[in-house]
Structures are given as structure tokens and as C-alpha cells.
Structure 1
Amino acid sequence: MTVKHLSVDYNKVNERGTFSPGDILSGRVTVVTSKETKVQCFLVRAKGKAKVTWHEQQGRARETYSDKKKYFYFEHIILQDKNKGDGSEIIRPGRNVYPFTFVIPNTDMPSSYEGKWGKITYTLRAQLTQSIWLVHKTKIEFPFLTKSEFPFASKSDMIIIGLKERHFATRISFYGSTKVTINVTSEKMGVKQGDAMGVSVEVLNESARSVTPKFYLCEKQTFVAQSKRIVHTNDTLFGMGDSVAADSSRTITKVLSVPPQLHPTFFNCSMMKLEYRLKVTVDVPLARDSEIKLPLVILLGSPKPHQEKPKRSIWFRKFPG
């Protein structure tokens, strides 16, 4: 093994550490060899893609649903032998650095994302081929951020109009011959990552028991492949309000903070989308429809430095047959 090290790295273009459509993606491939090394091909690739895969059990059969979309693909050849595989291209011993530059297409593409059954990734890969039996590879992901301020605008222009408006809903839950009425009002529908929003809950408790409102952040991931659709939901407890005694009423105000690491709402991918709701429930025993859901759009927050994933190199031998 004359190749001791192979890595690929990129230059940051902003303090967030992300790339967007139209940006220049430049970097370097580094290879360390113990002696003069002949290679057949040495190249670096940049790729953006979305992929969805899940499995469903139908009787004894197991069906697989999968789809993928390529946003861009570039390849830069660093070295390639010109004599049909005789290994005439040479890498000198020691540390060798090879620069590269790609221009990311200036088109609408979704941000990097990883969900339950699908992900959107943007990667750099370097591959050094010494022979048909010996291939070295390394890979790194770079974070990508859509340019669209509202990556859900194609869903409905009314969403944008309503981002700063107050939203409210009423629910009446019956318990025996008595009832509990809750009125929920959120100060706005659009909230940035890491920001807070105020929610007001008016509870009219005409039951014989005390009730306690609970606040949940509801996440909904939707994936589409081969004309099939699958949904993954996750409810996270935001917080709890004060109890409202039997035969009484009370208005409870709660300030809810959106986690800064929460991925923003998006619809600009044909195979997956991410939505949120604010859910408020009251624990009325045996009652039906004792919850209210209000629309919630998570917007991109203030720039924060990107925490890079550790780079990994893959070394393997390929044998014929």
C-alpha cells in the first residue's frame, strides 16, 4: 500500500459554513504516498441528490419503494493515464495537494436534510485508481442551504401572508353531561429557529375534575416514491400550563422556545416535505377531540457556525469476478 492517506476538503464561503445555489465550491484533494506511485485515474466529484427508500410488508412479500433525484453532478479529472491503463501517470512520494473548483448551479434546490426514510445530501468524493484491483476512495458532505427565504411558497402564497398574523381555534370536549371548552391563540404562525412565541389558552372547565393544558410540537415528514406515500410523525412536549380547577375558568399564557437545531419547514423537494403544527391538549378522561392543532412554520434563524462531520476515508481492494 504505497498510498498512505487520501482526503478531500473544501473552503468555506461564509460564517455559517454553508453553500447555496450559484456559490463557488473550491477545495483540495490531498494524497500522501510512501514512494513514487503510478495511477490509472485520479478524480474528484461533486454531487447533490435526494433519495427516498422504505419497505412495506404485504403478506409474505416485502415491497421496497425507492426513488432518487440528482440536482447536479460534476467531475474533475486530476490525473488520468493516456495509454489505456498502463499506469503511466505518476504521483511523487510525500504529500501532494491538488486544487479543484466547481460552480454550483443557480437553481432552486432544497437544503441538506435527513429524515426517517429519506435524505438530501451534497457530497465531495475523491477516487484514486491504481489498478483494477486497487481503488482508494474518500468522501465528505458539505452543508447546503436553499436560497429561497420561503421554501414552501409553491405550496401556497397564503402561508407567506399569514406568517405574522395571530391564529386561533376553539374546541369543546364533552365529558358525561359536562364539558370543557378551550380557546387557543398563537401570536404568529412563522417562527425562526431559536426564537420564542407566545401562546394563550383560555380554558372553561365545566367538568367535575381539574384539567391541565399541554403544549406539543408536532413534526410531520412526508415521503413519496413510485406513486406511494408514507408519513412519519413525531410529537415533542413543549411544556405544560397550570391546572384549571373543576367548575372554573382560567387564561394561561405560555412562551414556547423553538429549538435552534430544528430543521426549517420545506416543500421544495418533489420526494419529501417537512411540516409542523402546534398542538394543545387537555387531559379530559374519556373525552374525544380534546386537542387543537394550529399551523406552525419554522423559518431559518440567524447564522450559526456549522459543525463539520468528521471526514472518513474508505480503502478497499476490488478483485475480478
Structure 2
Amino acid sequence: MNNVKSFSVGYNPINESNVFSSGDYISGQVTLELTKDTDINALSVKMKGKAEVRWTENHGKNSVTYFSKEKYFSVKQFLIQEGQGNHVSQGCNVYPFTFQIPAQNMPSSFKGAHGKIRYTLEANLSRSMRMDSKAKAEFNLVSKGDLALQSSLGIPQHGATDKKMKLFNSGYVAMDVNIDKSGFHQGEGIKVVASIHNKSSRDVCPKYCIYRKCSYFAKSKRKLETNDLLKEVGDAVPPSAGQTVTKFITIPAATIPSISNCNIIKVEYRLRVYLDVKYAFDPQIKFPIIILPTAQSFDEKVPLDGPTYGFDSFHSVPTGIFPPPGSGGMNPSAPPPPPYETHMAYGIYPSLPSYGSKS
């Protein structure tokens, strides 16, 4: 009979945003609930970070799958050492652990149509004459490395375009647009100043769109995915008129930060300002913008309320937290562990924001 009633791994949030960055400590618990006393060969937990892309293309009668993977780290701890005689008692057994996320330049967590960047905790339970039981929890990492893009973030951007009307219109329209910088934080507003000269016979309407470009790379091939993030409309400019229009466009707080420090996935953003002209191609200007994580993502990391079971802080290496092999983990009668994100064996992974496809 299977004596394992439940098997899960979870972690303790260290800030309200529930994100981590390189160099942080991540602590958690592996919880093993048994219906009767059981011999365990080994119990381990692994922290991993990797990116992978995959897509399929049809070339005539042949289909070609493009795949690539990039590994960042893989660190393993044994909570019950390999060997015989590891006798674990019936009931709920909790095994705390702590890892330090490597202090290296790694991309932010991401999930797209053809690839993903994932950081996970994976617990593995090994017993004699049985298949291993596994549990996973995914945590979100926000990159500090992409802040190396800051050298040009404060530089203002300018663009101009004009178009002569044809067919059902006459005259021309011209647009001169300025934004005050190139880099913006999640939730920040973009100030767009547009000087519009409408010398045509019809109204023209300024429109604004922020969209995301995701590039996936494998086998010297590139797969492009484009998604609209938001669209907004300004006031119409009447015929034979000129106006300077100022528009504030707020970047959604849940927007995934730009990613440039991954070899197989690149995430970029553009602001497109264009004039909606009937019976004509819309004149437009595109600005590359960089989206950064909010400053709160990198605030000092402190544990949330609740017992810490020997953790002095999340900035120092905890001591004395690992139970001896075969001890059955923490006492089932002990107070419950602090709040943490839990995903059961073969569990559900949290999803990252996604947006509708660009038409």
C-alpha cells in the first residue's frame, strides 16, 4: 500500500510582491504526511533555474521542431540522507530548508507562447521498491542584471512623420512626437507630447499602443511573438488645424520587465503613436522603451509574520535547522510553519501575465 497521504514543497515569501532576486535566500518546507510508519531511502530538495524554447514549423510535407535550453543553476540538498534505516513516523513531518539564489546575472521569470524562464523548487522522495514521489513549486525571480541597460534610460526620444493624402482625402498630415525618456518602471506613466498638423480634408485622431515583442532563438532560427499590451485614443484634430496634445499612458503594474540577458529569449517593448486617417495608411512613429521592475521589488527582504524556526534573518545563513536523518522531521505537535506558497505533488504552477495576440 502507498503510505504517503500527501507530499508537498513550499517557500516563505520575503516581500509583499512575492518575488526574489539573485543573491536572496529562499527558505521553505517539505511536508510529508504518512498514514503509517515508513522506511525512507532519501528525501531531497533541489533549486533550479533554466530557460527553454520550443516551436514547430511546417516545410512542405516535413515538420521541423526547434528547441533550445539554457541552464542557470541546479543546487541540491538532502533532508534525509541516502541510505538504509531512515525510519519516519506516521503523521505530518515537516523538513525546513534554505537555499541562496546564486548572485549572478539571470533573466526574470517569463512565460510566453513558445518559451519560458522558470525557477523552481523540486522535492524528491525515494522509497524502496516504489517509484519516486515528486513535488514542485515555482517562484518568481526579477532580474537585477537587466538594470545594466540604465545607461540610456534617461535619454529623451523624438520622432516625426508626415503623409500626403490620396484618393478620398486631400492635403497632408504631419506629426512630431516627444517622450521624456526611454526607461520606465512597472506602473509608471509615459508622458507623450505630440504636435499634430492636420492640413487634410478630414478629422485625424491620435492613437497610442504599447506592445511587446518576444523573440525565441533555436538552431540559428528566430520565432517572433507580438502582443498588444494596451491601446488608448486621443481627441480628434479637425481639418486645417494644428494642436499640441499631451497624453499620459500608464504601464500596467503586472507588465513583465524587459529581458535582454537571456541567450534564447528576448522581451522588448515599443510605444507606437499613430494617426487614424480614414481611407489612408496611418502615419506612425515607434519608440523602443525599456520596462523595469518597481523599486519595491528590491526593497530589503524581511520575513513575514510568523515563527521562523531558527532563521535569524533572510540575509544570514541559518544554522541548526536540518533534522537528523531518520528523525521524521519536525515534531508533528509543533506550531504550524509560517505562511508559504504551496504546490502539491505534480502540482499547479502559478501563471505569469499574458496578453491577447496582436491582430
**TM-score interval, smaller chain:** 0.7 to 0.9
Say yes or no: does 1:94 pair with 2:87: no
**Secondary structure at the counterpart of residue 134 of structure 1:** coil
CA distance in 1, matches of 2:156, 2:98: 47
Displacement after TM superposition at 1:310 (Å): 5.6
Say yes or no: does 1:67 pair with 2:59: no
Deviations 1:179-209 (A, max 9, x none): 1111111122211111112111111111111
Matches within 5 A, 1:26-105: 26-82=27-83, 88-105=85-102
Q: Is the 8 A contact 2:109 2:118 kept in 1?
A: yes
**Secondary structure at the counterpart of residue 296 of structure 2:** coil
**Secondary structure at the counterpart of residue 303 of structure 1:** helix
Q: Structure 1 residue aligned with 2:209, among 210, 216, 227?
A: 216
Displacement after TM superposition at 1:16 (Å): 3.4
Partner residue, 1:163: 153
Alignment TM-score, normalising by the size of structure 1: 0.87
Partner residue, 2:165: 175
The number of aligned residues is 303
What are structure 1's unaligned runs of at least 5 residues? 154-159, 316-321
Displacement after TM superposition at 1:239 (Å): 1.2
Displacement after TM superposition at 1:169 (Å): 0.8
Deviations 1:32-73 (A, max 9, x none): 101111223321111111111111111121111011111111
Deviations 1:234-269 (A, max 9, x none): 224431111111122222111111100001112011
CA distance in 2, matches of 1:276, 1:192: 12
Q: Is the 8 A contact 2:13 2:341 kept in 1?
A: no
**Which one has more relative contact order, counting CA pairs under 8 Å at least 6 apart?**
2
Displacement after TM superposition at 1:287 (Å): 3.2
Q: Which amino acid aligns with 2:345?
A: S
**Secondary structure at the counterpart of residue 150 of structure 1:** helix
Partner residue, 1:156: none
Partner residue, 2:328: none
Q: Is the 8 A contact 1:67 1:225 kept in 2?
A: yes
Partner residue, 1:190: 183
CA distance in 1, matches of 2:342, 2:30: 16
Q: Which amino acid aligns with 1:79?
A: I
Pair 1:28–1:161, CA change in 2 (3 A): closer
The worse-fitting range, judged by mean Cα deviation, of 263-272 and 165-174 is 165-174
Give the fraction of aligned pairs with identical amino acids, expressed as a percent. 37
Q: Structure 1 residue aligned with 2:137, among 137, 140, 143?
A: 140
**Secondary structure at the counterpart of residue 260 of structure 1:** coil
Displacement after TM superposition at 1:142 (Å): 1.4
CA distance in 2, matches of 1:237, 1:7: 38
Displacement after TM superposition at 1:131 (Å): 3.6
Partner residue, 1:311: 343
Partner residue, 1:117: 114
CA distance in 2, matches of 1:230, 1:108: 24
**Secondary structure at the counterpart of residue 244 of structure 1:** coil
CA distance in 1, matches of 2:213, 2:178: 21
Say yes or no: does 1:285 pair with 2:278: yes
CA distance in 1, matches of 2:15, 2:341: 17
CA distance in 1, matches of 2:27, 2:142: 17
Deviations 1:57-95 (A, max 9, x none): 111211110111111111222335535xxxx43211111
Partner residue, 1:318: none
Q: Is the 8 A contact 1:108 1:147 kept in 2?
A: yes
Q: Is the 8 A contact 2:165 2:200 kept in 1?
A: yes
> Which structure features the higher share of strand residues?
1
Deviations 1:135-189 (A, max 9, x none): 32111011212223615x3xxxxxx343223211111112125211111111222
Q: Which amino acid aligns with 1:285?
A: K
Pair 1:245–1:7, CA change in 2 (3 A): same
CA distance in 2, matches of 1:16, 1:229: 33
Alignment TM-score, normalising by the size of structure 2: 0.78
Displacement after TM superposition at 1:309 (Å): 6.5
